[in-house]
Amino acid sequence: MQLKHATSLAWAAVPMLAAIPTPAMAYMGPGLGFGAATTALAFLVAILLGLFSVLWYPVKRLVRRLRRDTDKAE
C-alpha cells in the first residue's frame, strides 16, 4: 500500500515541478519585440475585419432593398 501512495505522490509532483519557471537567459532584441507586436496587431485587425465583413453584408442587402423599394414607389 505504501508503494501505491508513493507512486501517486510522484505523479502529483510532476505537474508541480513542470510549472516552476526557469530563467531562459536569452536576449530578446528590439526586432523580436517589434515582430511580436506587429503579429498581435495583425491578428487583431484580421479579427475585426472578419467581424466587419460578417456584419456588413446584411446591412448592404438591406440598403439595396430599401433603395429598390423607394425607386419603385416613385
What local confidence, expressed as pLDDT, does residue 71 receive?
A: 74
pLDDT at 1 over 60: no
pLDDT digits (tens, 9 = 90+) for 26-67: 888 889 889 999 999 999 999 999 999 999 999 999 999 988
For residue 71, the SS3 value is helix
Question: Where does residue 16 rank: exposed (0-12), middle (13-18), buried (19+ CB within 10 A)?
Answer: exposed
Mean of the pLDDT values across residues 12-33? 84
Domain boundaries, the chain: 2-73
